Structure 1
């Protein structure tokens, strides 16, 4: 289906707060299982989830001489686990307390022969109620969950094209379950000063690893604005970054958040939403690269460079 304005769904933040908070905890539980088994990659890239044609997945996670994966299927509303020895387990995504999801998920891993111990409380939220005790977060609206996945699908698609224009070190487009955001990060190649940390219920050393190199990061967060927001920031923030002109007109720099923001609804309502988002991603990256004196001639590349080859 070709992308158009009808592909970008409307999902008001206030309409799915309870489901979003529950889903946030569920993704943390699944993400921590990947963290428990995958080897450390720079900037914690081994812990993330990925957008799929049906939802969000861990992708393949090593275990012993094989691997397993876990997928949130937001089409049929099921959590699916598969192992490379042919084992499979699943259960329905429906209203249930975080404590129940936690128990059922770990039981499925046990049944697959993948016993797993995870850190028992969430990160980057306050208060950090232990998963096994969390009975307050129990909402699941399947329509809202599916609309959220469709938001991620569109953001992932445009951000993926943006990623293709960079020849330097660049992350995948991936979903960080700590803050519950979809992100893609470009790096200048230079070291960065130690990050001060400060995220709630998250060791400062986590942020030191995440921000160990100079970067420009963009993404989508479903909790900001009326319908969520796209963001872009630089670390360390170079002089002049906040004053650098960016587009489209709906974008602005937030002193409170230390980043440029673009309301999701400004993209959704545009005649050409893909172009509007791409413009935001490009001009905010240029703000970081120009103000930070990145070697753009070396780092950037034309993704269409082989389009004329036979």
Structure 2
């Protein structure tokens, strides 16, 4: 029988079936792409496109501070009060209610709010990494927003962000923040060996190959959470370039498997949610798949890894 502490830990991981919020997820995906492209339009390029990502907050997802002129602005999806909040460093603010509306209307509302705040912005008018790529300004087919589903999705991200953050702390080499990529709508954290990688072949739908060349310029082991796989989403882990034998490496837990279709290891979210210790289950998956990538490619693990509790006794 699970202890009370374990039961509470499991309850923190909400159940959200992929099929139950497909229309909301597809609409929200277009909305976050619109806001993401606003950040892309203003933020200076960082390696691997780190300047375009969002971050999990105690209420939703934020762009963090975006430079504009001599000041800054930010945009946050608040999945508690279900508002899109736009704020500027000179005190300006606008709120847009998150409710069912066509992508075209959301696109117009965001553009108008930015104009009113003195941050006029022109973005690329079509989404990336999806097929078909309906231009935002004429997209009336995606219009559903279920606040309960959006709230549950944010709660999934909270748990994933927390466990990925603990995993990130064990690495002193080059490593990304734990951040949300709006292209594929996944939360990710990527470790790097320090060596350059072979040129990526590209191939993502409606996304220039040069985008992937920048994203995968260096040898890496990447992991994260994606809400669109399996029954309730899935944690994933992959390596680029993939070392020989990676797919056949032993990983934990037993529910994890290598998907040749996706070219990565997957751990179903429902296997985590129902585990006696969800945090340990995810941690085991992240560590074992990273070891498979790092050992397979001959990374200098002694130089790249660290103990996050190294100052605990001070």
The TM-score, its normalising length taken from structure 2, stands at 0.98
1:49 CA drift (Å): 0.5
Q: How many residues align?
A: 308
Could you say which residue in structure 1 is the equivalent of 2:227?
222
The equivalent of 2:105 in structure 1 is 100
Secondary structure of 2:270 counterpart: helix
Following the alignment from structure 1 to structure 2, what is the Cα–Cα distance between the partners of residues 232 and 149?
21
Q: 2:41 is matched with which residue?
A: 36
Structure 1 gap ranges (5+): none
Matched, 1:112 2:148: no
Cα distance, 1:293 vs structure 2: 0.3
Q: Distance in 2 between the 1:35 and 1:247 partners?
A: 37
Which runs of structure 2 are paired with 1:258-273 in the superposition (5 Å)? 258-273=263-278
Whole-Å Cα distance in 2 between the matches of residues 203 and 158 of structure 1? 32
Deviations 1:69-105 (A, max 9, x none): 0000000000000000000000110000000000000
The CA deviation string for residues 276-307 of structure 1, in whole angstroms up to 9 with x for no partner, is 00000000000000101000000000000001
Of 57, 72, 85, the residue aligned with 1:80 is: 85
The CA deviation string for residues 109-154 of structure 1, in whole angstroms up to 9 with x for no partner, is 0000000000000000011000000000000000000000000000
2:259 aligns to what?
254
Asked if 1:178 corresponds to 2:183, the answer is yes
Q: 1:36 deviation in Å?
A: 0.2
Structure 1 residue runs of 4 or more that deviate by more than 3 Å after TM superposition: none
Name which of 46, 55, 64 aligns with 2:51. 46
- The reply to whether residue 137 of structure 1 matches residue 151 of structure 2 is no
> In the alignment, does 2:237 pair up with 1:232?
yes
Instruction: Give the TM-score, by structure 1 length.
Output: 0.99
**Match of residue 70 from structure 1:** 75
The alpha carbon displacement at 1:227 in A equals: 0.1
> 2: distance between equivalents of 1:307 and 1:240?
38
Query: In structure 2, the residue corresponding to 1:4 is in which secondary structure?
Result: helix
CA distance in 2, matches of 1:44, 1:208: 11
3-state DSSP of counterpart to 1:261: strand
Question: What root-mean-square deviation, in Å, do the aligned CA atoms of Structure 1 and Structure 2 show?
Answer: 0.7
Measured against aligned partners, the alpha-carbon deviations of 1:138-187 in whole angstroms (never above 9, x if no partner) come to 00000000000000000000000000000000000000000000000000
